[in-house]
């Protein structure tokens, strides 16, 4: 956690200085009360009025400095949380895609929904509170010993303080809480959008775009939360002032002890001061320590995860900039759970050719696609891009050449155009052209070329239209290799033929399609029909 506070050094230093000053002012209340009592007993009205005026000003300043550290703490805490959220997004963007695909999306969401709020409320917030409370305890203890050493020792032994429930004005805070929750929900919506479709985001090189979107929504959530905490701090400050009324009861009870000659006036001052600023912090320090200890494990696991570089994509020196003409697997072997899926397989996929890959369920069709995309590693052999080893090429530069159409289309919250362009700035004419080439011309006519229409709200796509949206996305990004996993799965024969027509019209691209279809009209669009059989990749006649 140290690095996050160092990242916000200015806010950390301001919080520390304010904590010291506010603790000093609070601890000084005992001396103010002592001086007031002394002046009252001295029978000098003029001096008493001067001290009383000073005391009033002091109490107003001290009350203000109960609010200021709460607000500065909120700014520091939410700035740290903003940095942690942004680092989490970057970490996921850099993480190995093979590991991400084997991880449940809910695991990623839980880190935002559960882990981070817990770290904020039960780890970082108590740590900051612990700092201020420690300063208050030290200053108060020094002052208490100065006033009455014996009574201080008695109070330290008892460590008793009346507990007051904070009086929060729910009417003041209700609207602010609602607004803050809306901002939180928007960030969770954006993050789920990113997390649910993370493979598409990474393969289309859209990580930086999503980092920008999530950074913006996280920043809005930060500002809304800071404002809410500011309002809460004001109400707590009011509650703090009202709690003084409860503690004044100690003066009344202590006054009876003074009249009974069991307690001196200085002793009464020391007693009330200790009850407020020594015994209380001791109990609060204990509560904070318990809270921090309970959440330390979660914070430690989270930090271990976020700093784990072993599961990130290794930086590769070579960028692949030339046009992709050949994608070749050479002597590939791959086993899974003691079952051989591929045994010394070699095949060359050539540009401007279309390949259909068939095979029984479990034969390894999807595994082959993952090997071709560099997501899964073969046990032996190599994948070559124009005779260059894929393992030596940057994943980002390869993904710029590649378009992947999964079995289930990735639909993002946003407009039709944003779904095609992956939230990048776009050429409207180009977007419409790609949608038309993908066979969505009829849809465009129905919506009067309104590509800014919201998906899921103003427009709902059918299964066939979703597949064609994926193809439009690939066309827009000028992919040089298109890999489609069961693009006609679940579609009727009409939609299957529509997809076939779209694929058949794409030129100058390597197209690899995994399919279960036995429709000869559909299969006829391919230059080669391959079959995975007996751990080999064979051409069908």
The dihedral built from the CA positions of residue 312, 315, 316 and 322, taken in this order, carries a sign that is: positive
Q: Residue 166's pLDDT is what? A: 39
How far is residue 90 from each of residues 94, 191, 214, 404, measured CA to CA in Å?
6, 12, 10, 22
241-255, 340-354, 404-418: least confidently modelled range:
241-255
User: Predicted confidence band at 165 (pLDDT cuts at 50, 70, 90)?
Assistant: very low
Question: Domains of the chain (ranges plus CATH)?
Answer: 2-306 (1.20.1560.10), 326-411+461-539 (3.40.50.300)
Is it the case that residue 267 has pLDDT exceeding 70? no
125-139, 244-258, 377-391, 425-439: least confidently modelled range:
244-258
217-255 pLDDT tens trace: 899 988 888 887 777 676 656 655 555 554 565 666 667
The average pLDDT across 372-382 equals 91
Structure tokens belonging to residue 449: 């070329």
Residue carrying the six token digits 């004044």: 248
Q: Residue 244's pLDDT is what? A: 56
Task: Say which residues have a Cβ less than 8 Å from residue 355's Cβ, sequence separation at least 6.
Answer: 349, 510, 511, 512, 513, 526, 527, 528, 529, 530
Mean pLDDT over all residues of the chain? 82
H helices within 393-529, ranges in order?
395-399, 416-421, 428-437, 441-446, 463-476, 493-505, 520-523
Structure tokens belonging to residue 229: 């905490």
Is it the case that residue 288 has pLDDT exceeding 80? no
9-56 pLDDT tens trace: 999 999 999 999 998 988 888 788 778 877 877 778 888 899 889 989
List, as one string, the DSSP characters of 33-53.
Answer: HHHHHHHHHHT-HHHHHHHHH
How far is residue 79 from each of residues 4, 66, 110, 277, 515, measured CA to CA in Å?
9, 21, 20, 30, 49
Q: Residue 162's pLDDT is what? A: 39
67-81, 271-285, 378-392, 521-535: least confidently modelled range:
271-285
Helix, strand, coil percentages, rounded to 5, for the chain: 65, 15, 25
Give the up-direction half-sphere exposure of residue 371: CA atoms within 13 A in the CB hemisphere. 27
Q: Kindly state the DSSP code that residue 197 receives in the 8-state scheme.
A: T
The dihedral built from the CA positions of residue 406, 412, 418 and 421, taken in this order, carries a sign that is: negative
Is it the case that residue 194 has pLDDT exceeding 70? yes
Alpha carbon distance 251, 261 (integer Å): 15
Structure tokens belonging to residue 307: 């700093």
Alpha carbon distance 340, 342 (integer Å): 6
Alpha carbon distance 489, 496 (integer Å): 8
63-83 pLDDT tens trace: 888 889 889 999 999 999 999
Is it the case that residue 496 has pLDDT exceeding 90? no
Alpha carbon distance 260, 273 (integer Å): 21
Task: Say which residues have a Cβ less than 8 Å from residue 530's Cβ, sequence separation at least 6.
Answer: 347, 355, 356, 357, 358, 537, 538, 539, 540
Torsion of CA 429, 432, 438, 443, to 10 degrees: -170
334-344 pLDDT tens trace: 998 888 999 99
Q: Which residue has the higher pLDDT, 157 or 353?
A: 353
What does residue 402 show for φ and ψ, rounded to 5 degrees?
A: -115, 145
Q: Residue 75's pLDDT is what? A: 93
Question: Helices 29-42 and 125-147: crossing angle, nearest 10°?
Answer: 30
Percent of the chain surpassing pLDDT 90 = 31
Give the up-direction half-sphere exposure of residue 356: CA atoms within 13 A in the CB hemisphere. 25
Q: Which residue has the higher pLDDT, 291 or 328?
A: 328
The average pLDDT across 294-312 equals 74
514-524 pLDDT tens trace: 998 888 889 99
- What residues does 202 pair with on adjacent strands? none
Q: Residue 279's pLDDT is what? A: 60
């Amino acid at each position: 956690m140290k690095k996050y506070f160092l990242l916000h050094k200015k806010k950390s230093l301001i919080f520390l200085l304010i904590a010291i000053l506010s603790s000093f002012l609070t601890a000084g209340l005992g001396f103010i009360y002592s001086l007031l009592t002394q002046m009252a007993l001295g029978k000098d009205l003029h001096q008493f009025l001067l001290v009383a005026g000073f005391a009033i000003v002091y109490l107003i300043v001290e009350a203000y400095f109960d609010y200021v550290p709460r607000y500065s703490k909120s700014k520091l805490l939410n700035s740290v949380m903003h940095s942690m959220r942004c680092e989490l997004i970057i970490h996921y963007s850099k993480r190995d895609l093979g590991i991400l695909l084997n991880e449940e999306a809910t695991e990623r969401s839980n880190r935002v929904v559960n882990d981070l709020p817990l770290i904020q409320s039960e780890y970082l917030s108590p740590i900051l509170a612990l700092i201020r409370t420690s300063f208050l305890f030290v200053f108060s203890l020094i002052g208490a010993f100065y006033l009455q050493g014996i009574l201080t020792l008695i109070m330290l032994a008892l460590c008793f303080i009346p507990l007051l429930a904070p009086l929060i004005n729910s009417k003041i805070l209700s609207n602010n809480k609602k607004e803050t929750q809306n901002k939180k929900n928007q960030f969770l919506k954006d993050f789920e959008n990113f997390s649910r479709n993370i493979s598409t985001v990474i393969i289309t090189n859209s990580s930086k775009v999503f980092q920008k979107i999530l950074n913006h929504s996280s920043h809005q959530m930060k500002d809304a939360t800071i404002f809410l905490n500011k309002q809460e701090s004001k109400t707590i400050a009011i509650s703090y002032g009202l709690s003084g009324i409860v503690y004044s009861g100690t003066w009344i009870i202590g006054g009876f002890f003074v009249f009974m000659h069991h307690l001196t006036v200085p002793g009464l001052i020391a007693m009330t001061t200790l009850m407020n600023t020594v015994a209380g912090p001791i109990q609060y320090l204990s509560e904070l320590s318990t809270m921090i200890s309970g959440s330390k494990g979660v914070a430690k696991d989270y930090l271990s995860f976020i700093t784990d570089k072993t599961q990130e994509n290794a930086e590769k020196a070579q960028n692949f900039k030339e046009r992709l003409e050949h994608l070749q697997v050479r002597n590939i072997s791959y086993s899974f759970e003691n079952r051989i899926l591929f045994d010394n397989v070699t095949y060359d996929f050539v540009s401007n050719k279309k390949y259909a890959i068939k095979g029984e369920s479990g034969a390894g069709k999807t595994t082959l696609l993952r090997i071709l995309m560099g997501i899964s590693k073969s046990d032996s052999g190599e994948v070559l891009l124009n005779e260059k080893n894929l393992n030596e090429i940057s994943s980002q530069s390869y993904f710029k050449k590649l378009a992947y159409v999964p079995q289930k289309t990735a639909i993002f919250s946003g407009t039709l155009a944003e779904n095609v362009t992956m939230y990048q700035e776009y050429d409207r004419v180009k977007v419409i052209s790609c949608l038309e080439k993908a066979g969505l011309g009829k849809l465009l006519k129905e919506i009067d070329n309104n590509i800014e229409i919201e998906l899921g709200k103003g427009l709902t796509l059918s299964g066939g239209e979703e597949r064609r949206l994926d193809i439009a996305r690939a066309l827009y990004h000028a992919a040089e290799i298109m890999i489609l996993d069961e693009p006609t799965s679940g579609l009727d024969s009409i939609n299957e033929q529509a997809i076939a027509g779209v694929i058949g019209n794409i030129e100058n691209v390597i197209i690899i399609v995994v399919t279960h279809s036995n429709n000869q009209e559909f299969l006829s669009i391919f230059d080669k029909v391959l079959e995975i059989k007996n751990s080999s990749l064979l051409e069908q006649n």
